[in-house]
Amino acid sequence: MKNSSTTSDNILACARNLIVAGGYNGFSYADIADMVGIRKASIHHHFPSKVDLVRTLVARYREEAELGMANLELQVSDPLELLRLYAGYWEACIADASAPFCICALLASQLPVLPEEVGLEVRAHFRSLSGWLTSVLERGARHGQLQLTSTPLAEAEAFMAAVHGAMLSARAYGDPKIFGVVTGPLLERLASRFPCDESRDGDGCSHDDQDERSST
């Protein structure tokens, strides 16, 4: 808790950025040492092995995510608004490049080569996120605030997949806007209780700017 733990936090923060950029095998202790401004061996003092470091990182990430979900629920009860806030969180992260990818999503793609302990944490995050989304969607459907076209679980999985896939596309296109292009209509569809009604509200599907796709 003393501020000396700041070094440990710095190491974790740098590791997080490096993993977001290139995954488990995409960074080394030397990279972190350079960024933090200490020697390689000092990292081993805080995290004996790379597995320890990444496991700790993902475990903490999971805790923060679960805390974030719980806090959202405390502040907002409307299911649609919860989904909007969740998507909006990532949209902001991607837009300002502060953390343009969920580390668990990134690590999941490398699951076959991940140390087992790390893999377990990653899987746990997926289950946790899926569970929360399912509960939100189920509640929304029960109260008539959300329009589901399949089971809450299936819709939750679809929502999560869309968010992860949208992160990937934003990265591939080098264009943060694509995230909103994907998640926006998805939220709208869940919101519209009368999907046949073409004039459901002013703006309609908007996002008229599909000239994104940047270029390179």
Partner DNA sequence: GACAAACTACCTACTAGATGGTAGGTTACA
Partner DNA sequence: TGTAACCTACCATCTAGTAGGTAGTTTGTC
| Segment 146-154 long-range contacts (CB within 8 Å, at least 24 positions apart) | 146/79, 146/80, 146/190, 146/191, 147/189, 147/190, 147/191, 147/192, 147/193, 147/195, 148/190
Per-position x/- string for 92-131, each x denoting binding to a copy of itself as judged by CB under 8 A, each - no binding: ---------x--xxx-xxxxxx------x-xx--xx--x-
Exactly one of 9, 21, 22, 45 binds DNA (CB under 7 A); that residue is 45
Exactly one of 12, 14, 20, 50 binds DNA (CB under 7 A); that residue is 50
Q: Note whether 136 binds a copy of itself by CB under 8 A.
A: no
Q: CB-hemisphere CA count at 13 Å for 81?
A: 7
Measure the CA–CA gap between 30 and 54, rounded to whole angstroms: 15
Exactly one of 15, 20, 46, 82 binds DNA (CB under 7 A); that residue is 46
Query: Which CA distances in Å does 83 have to 49, 88, 166?
Result: 37, 8, 15
- Nearer to a copy of itself by C-beta: 73 or 212? 212
Q: Note whether 42 binds DNA by CB under 7 A.
A: yes
Helix axes 79-95, 177-191, angle to 10 degrees: 170
* Partner in contact with 200, chosen from DNA, a copy of itself, none, beta carbon below 5 to 8 Å by kind: none
Taking a C-beta distance cutoff of 8 angstroms, is the pair 141, 152 a contact?
A: yes
- Nearer to a copy of itself by C-beta: 14 or 46? 14
Q: Would you state the structure tokens that stand for residue 57, as one six-digit string? A: 């990182």
Size of the site for DNA (CB under 7 A): 23
- Nearer to DNA by C-beta: 60 or 200? 60
Residue type, 72: L
| Segment 138-144 long-range contacts (CB within 8 Å, at least 24 positions apart) | 139/79, 140/79, 140/80, 140/83, 140/190, 143/79, 144/193
Exactly one of 12, 15, 19, 29 binds DNA (CB under 7 A); that residue is 29
Residues forming contacts to DNA in the complex (CB under 7 A) are: 2, 4-5, 7-8, 27-31, 37-42, 44-46, 48-51
Residue ranges that bind a copy of itself, judged by CB under 8 A: 21-26, 101, 104-106, 108-113, 120, 122-123, 126-127, 130, 149-151, 153-155, 157-158, 160-166, 168-169, 171-174, 178, 181-182, 184-186, 188-189, 194-197, 205, 207, 210, 213, 216
